[in-house]
Every structure is written in C-alpha cells, then in structure tokens.
C-alpha cells in the first residue's frame, strides 16, 4: 500500500510539471491580434504604412484583418514596396498577397510561400477618397512571425503620397522608420501549423514532462507487478483503450487551418460536402467529362458569386457557352475569349484575348484588361478558367509551368480560381501532374445504379479538409 501511495504522489508531481509546459507550447502556437491607427491624409492623397518582418523560405503569414474604412492590405518584397506609385501596387509587381480596399472585419488573409529567407512587408494603403477620419486597422498573425516595425510607436512614420494619376511618386522603404514590434494587444489560443521555432521549444518542454510521467508510470507498474507475480492472469494489470466510433476521425491540425473564408457553390449538397463551399483565394480543379450536370453546376457557382457582388471572370474558347453566359449575366460579370469576334454584336463585358497558341499573350491581355476596364476596389474575385482542356490538347503538359505561374498571380490578387479539365483528352499521368498545381481537386464521374447511368461527385482533395471518400449523387432537379 505504501508503494502505491508513493507512485501516485510521484505521478501527481510530474503532472504538475507537465501542464505548464503544455500550456506554454499551446500559447506559442497561437495568433496575436493588434491594431494600427493610420492618420487620414489630405484629399487626393493616400497614406502607406509598411510593417517589416522576417520571413523564412517556404513559410507563410496568415490571419485576419479588418477596418471600418476601405483599406488595402498587401504582403510585398522590398522591391515591390519601392515600386508603389499613385497609391497603387503596379501590375508588374508579384505580391504574395493582395486585398484591395476591403471593408469589414474578420477578413481572412494568407500569403503565398516566401520565396527566400528575407525581409518582407505587410503594407496597408489608406486612400482619402470619400472616407473621413483616421483608419483603425485590426489584424492578427502567427506569434512565430517576428516583426521589425513598432506597431503604435511614437517614432514610427508612414508615407503620404499623391493618388493623382499625373504624379508618379515612388515610395522608398529605406526612408521609413523601423524599430521593434510591441506584441500583442491580445493573444488567441488557436493552434496553427505555421508556428516556428518557438513552438518547437515549447513542445520540447511538454514532451520532456510527459516522458517523465511515462517513466514514473512504468516504474510504478513494475513495482506493482512484482508484488502480484503470483496472481492469476485475470488479476493482471490491463490497459483499456476506448475505441473511437467509426464515423469520427482524429483531428489533424495540419489540415485544418484556423482561418478559411469560403464561397458557396449555390448547391447546398455540395456545400455540405465542402464544409461550407470553395476556399476563397485558392485554386480548385474540377475534373469532369462533358455531361448534363457540368454546365448547370458551373452556372450555380457563378450565380452564387454574383449574388454577393463578387466580380466573376470567365475564360473560355467556346463561343456558344461564352455568349450564353453573357446573356445570362451582366453586372460584375466579364467574359474573355479568343473567339470573342464571333459574338455579334459584341457586349460591353466581352473581351478578346489572344489565341491559346500564345500563352504569354493571354497573361498580358488579362492583366491589361484588369488595369484598364475593371474596378480594382475589391479583392474578392472569382476566375472560371475553362481553357485548360484546350491548352492541354494543343500544348501538352509542358504548359503546366505557365499555368502554375498564371494561377499564382491570380491568387495573390485575391482570386478564387476554378478550372475545368476533361479527363477524356488526358492521360492519368497528365491529370496527376496538373492536379498537383491546385489546392483542391473535385471529380465528376459516371456509374450505374440499377442499370441506370448516374453522375457522382467526389472531393478527392481540398485545402482545409481531411480526405474523404464520401460521394454525392448529382441531382438534376436541384441543379437546374
């Protein structure tokens, strides 16, 4: 009995050491929330506030931000920061994240992976157009991110430049004051797979304490077994493992990011399968042969986006589908096609792009159209890319490098990208190579039910979701 008391006492003591270490590890893998006040500039000008931080190659910065006034948020390299002119990030820049003139709170952001170990900038642009008063911006970020700027410091300066189109004022980041961040206003305990070395140190302490508990438990078990070595097997010490129900899977934090903003597909059954909809500002590939369900599903998604005033861009080489889409949608809908000259009379929201033989020309034409004709005041946009099958047929899988760069640029500009691929024109190897370029893959396929062909949909892979074998039988009555 005395030995039991000693073992129990040692276990309780070890747990007292373990819990603080575990709590410390959790606090390190959390998000910090802070606020930045940006002074209102004079009419016709804007204030640019940059916060420098150290980025590690292939890492990302993410969180949420918001403001009661229109604020643009960007993640830029120093060269791109220096290239800002007329209160705008030029189209030649390659921002790791861009959200222009968003308003509201709880807006999720997530940068592209950092290309190298370097200093990057979280840039806030506040233009004095029709707004009034100072802007208070609240944003969160992983506590593993080390900022070099002081938030709220009295000696930190912002740069005010003219937004006039005739003034080509360039920001030079070397003229800005940089000090050390005051972190944070508040900290949330949401765990993140993006935590850095600090998390590793905290976890090491937790592992050490847990190991101590295990060792003491083993020693205690040996001592008890020695006293009972003459007991029968019925009285032996056993460990009971509670089996999880079959429909419950352990949570994998690495596949469940903290902040995921979603776009409803307009099809409730599919939204349920996607846990809310398509992840915004990510690229999804829909693999589908020509079938009656494909185009109605596409129209559902476009209609859902337009119902929230999300600008939608449709790239297609099919003049019939393009004309049908233009007749159905007008406001906030833009169609781009190499066959645009075959649609008469030409609508105002139809733009011609080069033939798919000129991939670089398509990229340039898309960027030019965005600059000249499209209102840039929103960062949430939907891009339907229905050219992938044609490009694959003509160029082969070698076009993957171009498409990867094209998608990366669009995601950085705030686009949600949905591309379509006909599997009947590609080999399984080509499909796999192209699938790897996307954050999610959805497939529509056919199988017989009671000798009747039916179409099913399955989420093969999706950002922010665990893999699932659940399939959805498409219901034409709900799609049309």
pLDDT tens-digit readout, 124-136: 888 765 556 788 8
Q: Is the pLDDT of residue 232 over 50?
A: no
Please tell me the predicted confidence (pLDDT) of residue 181: 36
Helix (H) or strand (E) holding 453: strand 452-462
CATH number of 31-188: 2.60.120.680
DSSP one-letter code for 88 = B
Please tell me the predicted confidence (pLDDT) of residue 131: 52
How sure is the predictor about 375, in pLDDT bands with cuts at 50, 70 and 90? low
Residues 36/49, Cβ–Cβ less than 8 Å: yes
Distance of CA 253 to the CA centre of its chain: 15
Task: Tell me the DSSP string of 115-132.
Answer: SSSEEEEEEEEEE-SS--
Structure tokens at 364: 């340039």
Structure tokens at 476: 């034409």
Q: What is the 3-state secondary structure (H, E, C) of 178-242?
A: CCCCCCCCEEECCCCCCCCHHHHHHHHHHHHHHHHHHHHHHHHHHHHHHHCCCCCHHHCCCCCCC
Q: Which position has the higher pLDDT, 471 or 235?
A: 471
For 394, residues 6+ apart whose C-beta sits below 8 A from its C-beta are 356, 357
> Domain coordinates of the chain in residue numbers?
31-188, 262-479
User: Quick one: 434 exposed, middle or buried, by C-beta within 10 A (0-12, 13-18, 19+)?
Assistant: buried
Query: 73-105, pLDDT tens digit by residue?
Result: 889 999 888 888 777 788 778 888 887 766 777
How sure is the predictor about 120, in pLDDT bands with cuts at 50, 70 and 90? very high
Please tell me the predicted confidence (pLDDT) of residue 108: 75
User: CA of 192: how far to CAs of 40, 141, 386, 432, in Å?
Assistant: 35, 10, 35, 29
Distance of CA 23 to the CA centre of its chain: 28
Distance of CA 36 to the CA centre of its chain: 23
Residues 464/110, Cβ–Cβ less than 8 Å: no
Query: 266-313, pLDDT tens digit by residue?
Result: 999 999 999 899 999 999 999 999 999 999 999 999 999 999 999 999
Region for residue 248 given its phi and psi (left: phi exceeds 0; alpha: psi -120 to 50; beta: otherwise) = beta
Alpha-carbon distance of 113 to 58, in angstroms, equals 5
DSSP one-letter code for 85 = B
CATH number of 262-479: 3.40.50.300
Task: Tell me the DSSP string of 380-407.
Answer: -EEEEEE-HHHHHHHHGGGGHHHHHHHH
Query: 314-363, pLDDT tens digit by residue?
Result: 999 999 999 999 999 989 999 999 999 999 899 999 999 999 888 989 98
For residue 217, how many other CB atoms are within 10 A of its CB? 14
- DSSP β-ladder status, 118-127 and 45-55: antiparallel
Alpha-carbon distance of 76 to 142, in angstroms, equals 17
């Amino acid at each position: 009995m005395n030995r039991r008391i000693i073992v129990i006492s040692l276990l309780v003591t070890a747990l007292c050491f373990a819990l603080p270490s575990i709590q410390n590890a959790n606090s390190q893998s959390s998000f910090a929330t802070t606020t930045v006040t940006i002074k209102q500039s004079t009419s016709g000008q804007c204030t640019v506030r940059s916060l420098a931080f150290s980025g590690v190659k292939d890492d990302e910065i993410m969180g949420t931000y918001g403001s009661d006034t229109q604020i643009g948020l960007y993640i830029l390299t120093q060269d791109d920061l220096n290239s800002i002119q007329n209160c705008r990030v030029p189209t030649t820049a390659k921002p790791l994240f861009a959200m222009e003139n968003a308003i509201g709170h709880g807006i999720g952001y997530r940068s592209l992976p950092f290309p190298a170990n370097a200093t990057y900038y979280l840039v806030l642009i506040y233009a004095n157009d029709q707004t009034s008063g100072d802007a208070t911006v609240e944003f969160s970020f992983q506590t593993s991110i080390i900022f070099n700027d002081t938030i709220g410091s009295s000696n930190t300066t912002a740069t005010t430049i003219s937004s006039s189109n005739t003034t080509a004022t360039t920001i030079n980041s070397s003229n800005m004051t940089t000090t050390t961040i005051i972190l944070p206003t508040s900290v949330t305990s949401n765990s993140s797979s993006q935590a850095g070395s600090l998390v590793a140190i905290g976890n090491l302490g937790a592992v050490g304490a847990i190991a101590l508990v295990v060792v003491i438990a083993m020693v205690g078990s040996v001592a008890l077994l020695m006293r009972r070595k003459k007991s029968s097997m019925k009285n032996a010490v056993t460990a009971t493992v509670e089996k999880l129900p079959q429909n419950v899977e352990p949570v994998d934090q690495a596949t469940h990011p903290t902040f995921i903003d979603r776009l409803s597909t307009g099809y409730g059954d599919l939204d349920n399968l996607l846990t809310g909809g398509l992840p915004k500002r990510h690229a999804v590939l829909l693999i589908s042969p020509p079938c009656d369900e494909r185009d109605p599903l596409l129209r559902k998604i476009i209609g859902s986006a337009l119902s929230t005033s999300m600008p939608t861009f449709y790239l297609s080489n099919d003049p019939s589908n393009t004309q049908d889409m233009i007749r159905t949608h007008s406001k906030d809908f833009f169609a781009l096609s190499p066959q645009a000259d075959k649609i008469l009379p030409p609508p105002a929201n139809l733009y011609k792009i080069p033939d798919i033989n000129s991939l670089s020309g398509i990229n340039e034409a898309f960027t030019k159209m965005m600059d000249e004709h499209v209102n840039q005041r929103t960062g949430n946009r939907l891009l339907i890319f229905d050219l992938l099958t044609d490009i694959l047929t003509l160029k082969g899988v070698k076009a993957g490098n171009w498409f990867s760069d094209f998608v990366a640029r669009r995601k950085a500009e705030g686009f949600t990208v949905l591309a379509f691929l006909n599997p009947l024109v590609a080999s399984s190897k080509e499909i796999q190579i192209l699938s790897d370029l996307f954050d999610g893959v959805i497939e529509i396929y056919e199988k017989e039910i009671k000798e009747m062909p039916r179409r099913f949909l399955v989420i093969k892979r999706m950002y922010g979701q665990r893999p699932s074998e659940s399939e959805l039988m498409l219901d034409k009555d709900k799609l049309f």
